[in-house]
Amino acid sequence: MMNIGRRLTRTYVFALALIGLLAVGGSLLQRETADAQRQSAAVSSIVYDQQMLVQRIAKNTLALTHQTPTPGFASLRRRIALDVDELERNHQVLLSGALERGVLATDVPVLSQVLHREPYRLDYKIRRYAAATREMLATPLDRLDAVTTEPIVLTAQFDLPDALRATTRAYDALGQEGIRHIEYTRRLALGTLLGTLLMVGLLGFRPIVRRVQSGVVALEAARKRMEHSALHDALTALPNRRYLAEHLSTAMARGRRTGQTVALLHLDLDKFKQVNDTYGHAAGDEVLVTAVMRMQETVRSSDFLARVGGDEFIIVTTDVSSTEGLAILADRLIERMCDYLEWNGNDCTIGVSIGIAIAHPADHMTEERLIMNADHALYAAKDGGRSTFRFFGNDGERPLPQQAATPAGDGGRGVSLAVVNG
């Protein structure tokens, strides 16, 4: 009996030590994975901002090539200068590796290759692009021509997007490496669990077995939570800009393959900054949550909603039967957003401006171009007095390909919507 007691004691101590090692190892790997995913998400966010800034600089630069300067040219120059400053600040963040609470490994081979080696050389291209833009800004208005501005526009359209996309892919690879660590930990935990069950289950230590099982379940739940947080916004729980990039890429590829039209609506809340500055961030957060609820009530349950900026949203729809349907949706959103909104007895009523762009199957348009077109339309809506919408170019007039019949219950709207919030 004493020998059996000593054996049980040794088995119990061994099982506890095994569980402790498993818990420590899992915790370390989980922390490492969380850091890698947070860093990858932060880089994706900065690269997305860089893409939008580069496109906006090119758009505003192109507007300066008119032969006769107008009073608005001075405002355009200031916008370009501010965007170039932000572009360089973001690039310095990527170079220094200081992102939120983590520090990126700046000696990682994939980062070094994207920043300094052919064919991307992102560091050189960003610096050259910023220098060329500043040189253009120093040129008198009456001397601007296509020879001065064309290199800036062409670089933004063809050269820099490839390098920025390569940066995103490189850090996505690092994030996936972190997920593989979690998978390895999970398999290790399962193997340890089986060994522990075989060793102590026969001796009647069921509480130990249950403890090991709960540890494995907790690791799996943590992995799923991290995957969800990497693709969703913390405040609204909506898909974020990274999720938007994946969704839009899939939708555009499907549209080119099936001949389906893709439309994108870029929404920007009016008077939100005024609410935030007057009543504080708590009021701003409450306004954002309420705005999202109103959007969800306006679009259909099958639509995709995400957040792409502080007060910016994007609607992506792949079931467009008419531009009139898009216009009706925009009107409904504007009307709903202008409803009275109160916070702690204070009037926090806001509005929304909307830019609409359409990718026809025959256009073979890229995702970046569709977003840029919607951004241009949004600027036109804001210049038109806010709380209104504009189509990009002649998108509102071009006929759309024949689509499948609208499902019953659509109310004749004739458009399937996906909303993305960043």
pLDDT score recorded for residue 14: 66
CA distance 315 to 323: 14
**Contact indicator for 91, 50 with CB cutoff of 8 Å:** yes
Confidence class of residue 21 from pLDDT cuts 50, 70 and 90? low
Q: Which two tokens stand for residue 39?
A: 């860093």
When comparing pLDDT for 16 and 348, which is higher? 348
pLDDT score of 407: 39
Residue 408 has pLDDT above 50, yes or no: no
Query: DSSP character for 409?
Result: T
d(CA 347, CA 153): 43
Mean pLDDT on 72-91: 86
Q: Can you tell me whether residue 235 is helix, strand or coil?
A: coil
- Residues 391-401: pLDDT tens digits? 998 888 877 77
Residues 166-204 as b/e (b if ≥16 CB within 10 A, e otherwise) read bbbebbbebbeebbebbeebbebbeebbeebbebbeeee
Closest by Cα among 407, 398, 417 to 303: 417
- Other C-beta atoms closer than 10 Å to the C-beta of 56 total 20
Residue 302: which pLDDT band, with cuts at 50, 70 and 90? low
Higher pLDDT, 239 or 114: 239
pLDDT at 268 over 80: yes
For the residues 274-302, what does the mean pLDDT come to? 90
Q: Which of 25-34, 133-142, 158-167 has the highest mean pLDDT?
A: 133-142
Catalytic-residue membership of 49: no
Write down the catalytic residue from 270, 311, 375, 395: 311
The confidence score (pLDDT) of residue 172 equals 64
Residue 215 confidence (pLDDT)? 73
Rounded CA-CA distance 253/243 in Å is 16
**What is the predicted pLDDT for the residue at 406?**
38
Q: What was the pLDDT predicted at 312?
A: 93
More confident call, 274 vs 171:
274
Instruction: Please state, rounded to an integer, the average pLDDT across all residues of the chain.
Output: 77
- pLDDT of 102 above 60: no
**Using CA atoms, how far apart are residues 248 and 322, in angstroms rounded to an integer?**
20
Average pLDDT over every residue of 282-289: 94
Residue 356: per-residue pLDDT? 94
Find the DSSP H helices in 97-200: 109-116, 122-137, 146-154, 160-200
Residue 63 reports pLDDT greater than 80: no
Whether the pLDDT of residue 139 is over 60: the answer is yes
- Rounded distance, CA 164 to CA 141, Å? 31
**DSSP states along 346-371:** EE---EEEEEEEEE-GGG---HHHHH
170-179, 281-290, 394-403: which is most confident: 281-290
Cβ contacts of 155 within 8 Å, gap of 6 or more: 58, 125, 128, 129, 132
Q: What pLDDT was estimated at residue 382?
A: 92
| Residue 343 bridge partners (DSSP) | 346
Q: Are 411 and 228 in contact (CB under 8 A)?
A: no
Stretch 131-156: mean pLDDT = 78
DSSP 158: I
Residue in 349, 241, 344, 234 with CA at minimum distance from that of residue 294: 349
Tell me which residue of 233, 392, 375, 363 sits closest to 314, measured CA to CA. 375
Q: How confident is the model at residue 5 (pLDDT cuts 50, 70, 90)?
A: low
